[in-house]
Structure 1
Amino acid sequence: MDKNYFLNSINHEDKNLISNIFNKMQIAQKTNKIIFTNDFLSPIVWNQILVLCENYKIKSFANGIFEESDRRMLAFSSEGVPLTYPINLLKISNNSKFRTLQHKDYLGAIMSLGIKREKLGDLIIRDKICYVPVCSDISSYIISNLNDIGNCPCEVNEYPYTSQDLPQGQFQEKIIIATSLRLDGMVSAICNVSRNNSVGLISTGKILVNYFQCLKKDKIIKCNDTITIRGYGKVVVAEIIGSTQKDRLKVAIKQYT
């Protein structure tokens, strides 16, 4: 695959990132080894690359540990499927009896150690425990240096996810009222904003449909489609369950928390 063709085929503003990914593909091809990216990539990157590589002799794979991970590490191989990735899953336990920590608290504490967001996968929080996939080369550093989050003492350990059950992403089931199944109508209903504001979110590239950036406000959304809205989260369209007296659509969604 020509490098310029690859760079031009991936819709992403950071061409240095895409160029580095292409170089790893070339290394995998020349060495016949499995080569991994050094970071977790956003779905707008890894999904485009998986599709582009479908008919290419170097195969690509993506793994974020959790089944429906947004952030994933890519692997490239000319032969075989990677069985393991250079990823460790950390279990961060909040030992405070008085304060409940949120996603931003855990993420901010880890990044305050000088770690870039790209080195971390999706964070899943269950009660007083946060599970976070990290690049294996920084795992021990986090374990040694993350002793508290704010005023809350914490304990960090590796979680052997290959031998234990993985925590699952939680979601809330909701019913929204949408004017239509057009993307702008659905975004308006999901975010509870005006149609003009939803068009603004779409036109500025903040909406992914099935992990692809979508700039078409009139795209028709179907059942089982995943809509990711930057700043709002991820929603799966479950079912169209009927209409209101004003002929608006009742749509069941799963909103991930």
Structure 2
Amino acid sequence: MSSIYQHFRPEEKQFIDTVLDWKEQVENTYASKLTDFLDPRQQFILQSIIGDGVDVRCGFFGGRAQSERKRALLYPEYFQPEEKDFLVGLYEIEYPRKFMKLEHPMVLGSLMSLGVRRDKFGDILVNEDRIQFFSNEEIESFLMTELREIGRASVHLRRIPFEEAIQEPEQWRELEISAASLRLDAIISAAFNLSRQKSQALIAQKLVKLNWKTVENPAAECMEGDLISARRLGRCKIIELLGYTKKSKSRLKIGLLK
């Protein structure tokens, strides 16, 4: 069992234990287990533990192919999952667009103020004056009833089909880079073509997040599946560790969104 933990961060132990519990539950009951929305790092951990298992398999769905946050379904080998099994709903926020503009942080803040955990919601999509979000279908009636205001705007929700999801023009660009090490400052320098000093300054100014959490340690080690965001620079996700160069630098495949 300890061999599993050594591949991940110490602070991820609790989530690993949860995944192992889910796996055991599916094995024992021979029934599926649906999770809440997971971030990309959590998806990576779950996929790593379940792997290409025979008894228990897993699938992910967040409302669309490029969704960042997704629900996971762990299921026995006989089961053939479909989109509807993930119980994901897409909701558009209707509000007086002529008089005000809603933004991502306002929407997330209002959803959280209802007392619902972040993992009940998927991606929030914004395109000019339109805003949509994915959520657990199980809390749909609660959201429809309770979400009446965002900022100063009166709002109401309308469930819409996935085909009407806002199509964001942004696309991840995949490339291979080499970095001095897997330290956070080294990855930022290589991904965004910055000096090590500038990368460290960004971290010191609390402008960098690792898996959605502000990190102040430039020596924090990055891993496969991590998502790094640096304010004003963009986002970088580590898709795969490719080994080392002849000069002992780390080779990585990353996705870049500027």
**Residue 166 of structure 2: aligned partner:** 167
Distance 2:13 2:221 in 1: 23
Alignment of structure 1 residues 139-178 onto 2, 5 Å: 139-161=140-162, 164-171=163-170
Q: Check the 8 A contact 2:189/2:196 in 1, yes or no.
A: no
The answer to whether residue 64 in structure 2 is matched with residue 66 in structure 1 is yes
The answer to whether residue 208 in structure 2 is matched with residue 196 in structure 1 is no
Residues 205 and 195 of structure 1: CA distance in aligned 2, closer, same or farther (over 3 Å): closer
1:60 to partner: Cα distance: 1.4
Instruction: Say which SS state the counterpart of residue 81 (structure 1) adopts.
Output: coil
TM-score, normalisation: structure 1 = 0.69
Alignment of structure 1 residues 46-85 onto 2, 5 Å: 46-57=43-54, 58-79=56-77, 80-83=79-82, 84=84, 85=86
The answer to whether residue 125 in structure 2 is matched with residue 124 in structure 1 is yes
Alignment of structure 1 residues 1-257 onto 2, 5 Å: 6=4, 9-11=7-9, 13-37=11-35, 39-57=36-54, 58-79=56-77, 80-83=79-82, 84=84, 85-161=86-162, 164-171=163-170, 181-182=178-179, 183-189=187-193, 194-197=198-201, 206=210, 228-230=227-229, 232=231, 233-235=234-236, 255=257
Instruction: Say which SS state the counterpart of residue 121 (structure 1) adopts.
Output: strand
Deviations 1:69-91 (A, max 9, x none): 22111111122332021221111
Structure 2: runs of 5+ lacking an equivalent:
180-186, 213-218, 239-254
Q: Check the 8 A contact 1:12/1:45 in 2, yes or no.
A: no
Instruction: Say which SS state the counterpart of residue 122 (structure 2) adopts.
Output: coil
Give the AA of the match of 2:37.
F
Structure 1: runs of 5+ lacking an equivalent:
175-179, 209-213, 220-224, 238-252
Distance 1:107 1:192 in 2: 33
1:216 to partner: Cα distance: 5.7
Deviations 1:100-140 (A, max 9, x none): 11100111111111111111111111232222111122111
Deviations 1:148-176 (A, max 9, x none): 21111222011222xx34322332899xx
Deviates more, 1:81-90 or 1:11-20: 11-20
Distance 2:209 2:105 in 1: 23
Number of aligned residue pairs: give it: 218
Give the AA of the match of 1:156.
L
Deviations 1:199-234 (A, max 9, x none): 879xx98279xxxxx9568x9xxxxx9983245453
TM-score, normalisation: structure 2 = 0.69
| Backbone CA RMSD of aligned residues | 3.8
- Identity across aligned pairs (percent)? 18
Deviations 1:13-66 (A, max 9, x none): 2533332332222222222222111x2111111112213322422111111113
